[in-house]
């Protein structure tokens, strides 16, 4: 009888603990310089940003946010300090069901962010860092394009040179995305990278990388979206 009673207590305790903390993603953060503001954890759902959790800070720079996610995915941290720079105060990261840490600064919330705890996010950060030089090339191409648009009689040679440089840039970007996703095909971030930067690739190449991914990744959130993209591109 006593043994049965103790077993019941242990079972009840386990249920209670589960009910108290059902979330599988916990984010501990510290924003240097912040004293008053609101930090929101968000996701895109049907093209709309939805807030999953939020906390109002007053006199402290530390915070904890939590939510429950079914699989690794891109989430956002939004910092609202009513300073008129709302669009500069949101950073994206690849979350997974674990305890993650975010450290940043009020002065440059996005650029100073250091996020740990997610292998998928580490891979995404590395990919974006390596893409930085190509992004600069794209910015220069846009400036050249705008300059040509302002000219009344832009030479055909200048237009052809711009188009050639753009094709070179596009090929480098797509090839790097395909290569990176292939190397890291066992992670959920791989199909996401192809959706973000590899959508201009030949669908045959996209499908080749997709077919190398484990079933778990193919049937993930972004794996399904990649499959649909490949299907749509092949029908064009």
Which residues touch 157 (CB under 8 Å, ≥6 apart)? none
User: Which one is predicted more confidently, 4 or 132?
Assistant: 132
Q: Specify the CATH number for the domain of residue 57.
A: 2.60.40.1120
Residue 113 has pLDDT above 70, yes or no: yes
Instruction: Report how far apart the first and last C-alpha atoms of the chain are (Å, whole number).
Output: 71
Three-state DSSP at 213 gives: coil
- Number of structural domains, the chain? 2
List pLDDT tens digits, range 145-191: 999 999 988 899 999 999 999 999 999 999 999 999 999 999 999 99
When pLDDT is averaged across residues 200-217 and rounded to a whole number, the result is 97
- Residue 68 and residue 166 in one domain: no
- Residue 134 and residue 229 in one domain: yes
Residue 88 has pLDDT above 90, yes or no: no
- Alpha carbon 84 to chain centroid distance? 24
- Residue 133 and residue 112 in one domain: no
- Residue 108 and residue 157 in one domain: no
Instruction: State the pTM of this model.
Output: 0.85
Where in the sequence is the domain holding 144, given as residue range(s)?
Answer: 129-235
Residue 3 has pLDDT above 80, yes or no: no
- Alpha carbon 136 to chain centroid distance? 20
pLDDT for 5: 46
CA atoms within 13 A on the CB side of 210: 26
10 Å CB burial of residue 79 (0-12, 13-18, 19+) is buried
- Residue 91 and residue 165 in one domain: no
Identify the DSSP state of 86.
G
């Amino acid at each position: 009888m006593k043994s049965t009673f103790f077993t019941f207590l242990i079972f009840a305790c386990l249920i209670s603990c589960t009910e108290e903390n059902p979330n599988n993603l916990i984010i501990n953060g510290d924003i240097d310089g912040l004293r008053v503001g609101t930090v929101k954890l968000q996701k895109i759902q049907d093209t709309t940003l939805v807030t999953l959790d939020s906390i109002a800070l007053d006199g402290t720079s530390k915070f904890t946010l939590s939510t429950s996610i079914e699989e690794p995915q891109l989430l956002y941290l939004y910092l609202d300090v009513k300073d008129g720079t709302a669009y500069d105060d949101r950073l994206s990261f690849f979350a997974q069901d674990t305890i993650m840490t975010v450290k940043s600064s009020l002065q440059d919330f996005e650029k100073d962010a250091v996020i740990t705890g997610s292998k998928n996010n580490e891979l995404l950060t590395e990919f974006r860092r390596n893409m930085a030089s190509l992004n600069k090339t794209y910015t220069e191409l846009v400036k050249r394009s705008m300059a040509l648009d302002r000219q009344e009689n832009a030479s055909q040679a200048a237009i052809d040179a711009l188009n050639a440089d753009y094709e070179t840039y596009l090929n480098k970007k797509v090839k790097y995305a395909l290569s990176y996703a292939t190397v890291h095909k066992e992670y959920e971030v791989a199909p996401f990278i192809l959706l973000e930067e590899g959508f201009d690739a030949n669908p045959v190449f996209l499908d080749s990388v997709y077919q190398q991914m484990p079933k778990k990744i193919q049937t993930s959130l972004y794996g399904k979206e990649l499959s649909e993209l490949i299907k749509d591109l092949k029908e064009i």
